């Protein structure tokens, strides 16, 4: 892992005086931020409490607004006392894949961008290449077909939130 984190080099061995020069010795990647990205992260970290508070407010509004539709969609649950989520995702889990597909289509018609969230890693091109497709993971596969990510970001305005909620309620009611 040390070599991978060092961009595939034995740089750490060089810094420890174990080799006279470092060179490329294996697979690796760079996880260093550019100066500009580091500056942006620094600003966001200074604002993290406000960012999390704003996203929690949006999640709370979604939960209240979508509660009447729990016969069609499962809302996120955070066990009391277990964690404090950062709310970077607010996901709805539909009872069927066709409901998920219709919800996405109808929300996009209303110019609200929602997404199906993910392809299970074992079914992704790299996952299949590494042998992950040999064994089914039915819960993961079903979740991927029924989950929808709602828009949630700290800068979401009250007007955007109201429009998103109203649009989603109309679509949920029609499903």
User: What are the pLDDT digits (tens) for 154-169?
Assistant: 899 999 999 999 999 9
Lowest mean pLDDT among 83-87, 95-99, 110-114: 83-87
Give the mean model confidence (pLDDT) for residues 7-13.
81
**Residue 52 pLDDT grade (very low, low, confident, very high; cuts 50, 70, 90):** very high
Residue 147: per-residue pLDDT: 95
Q: What percentage of the chain has pLDDT greater than the value 90?
A: 55
Fold category of 47-174 in CATH: 3.90.1150
Residue 104: per-residue pLDDT: 96
Q: Kindly tell me if the per-residue pLDDT of 1 is higher than 80.
A: no
Query: pTM for the whole thing?
Result: 0.78
Residue 96: per-residue pLDDT: 96
Domain locations along the chain = 47-174
Using one digit for the tens of pLDDT, what is the confidence trace for 13-48? 888 888 776 677 887 877 778 899 989 989 989 999
Q: Kindly tell me if the per-residue pLDDT of 53 is higher than 80.
A: yes
Q: Kindly tell me if the per-residue pLDDT of 100 is higher than 80.
A: yes
Residue 27: per-residue pLDDT: 79
Q: Kindly tell me if the per-residue pLDDT of 113 is higher than 90.
A: yes
> What are 25-34's contacts with CB under 8 Å, separation 24+?
27/3, 28/3, 28/4, 29/4, 29/5, 31/5
């Amino acid at each position: 892992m040390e070599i991978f984190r060092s961009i595939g080099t034995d740089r750490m061995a060089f810094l420890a005086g174990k080799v006279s020069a470092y060179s490329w010795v294996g697979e690796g990647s760079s996880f260093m931020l550019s100066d500009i990205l580091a500056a942006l992260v620094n600003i966001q970290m200074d604002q993290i409490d406000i960012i999390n508070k704003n996203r929690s407010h949006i999640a709370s509004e979604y939960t209240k607004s979508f509660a009447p539709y729990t016969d069609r969609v499962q809302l996120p649950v955070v066990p009391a006392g277990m964690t404090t989520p950062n709310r970077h995702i607010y996901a709805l889990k539909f009872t069927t894949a066709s409901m998920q597909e219709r919800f996405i289509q109808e929300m996009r018609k209303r110019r609200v961008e929602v997404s199906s969230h993910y392809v299970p890693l074992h079914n992704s091109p790299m996952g299949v290449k590494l042998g992950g497709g040999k064994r089914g993971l039915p819960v993961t596969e079903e979740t991927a077909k029924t989950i929808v990510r709602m828009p949630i970001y700290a800068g979401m305005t009250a007007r955007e939130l109201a429009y998103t909620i109203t649009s989603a309620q109309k679509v949920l009611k029609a499903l």
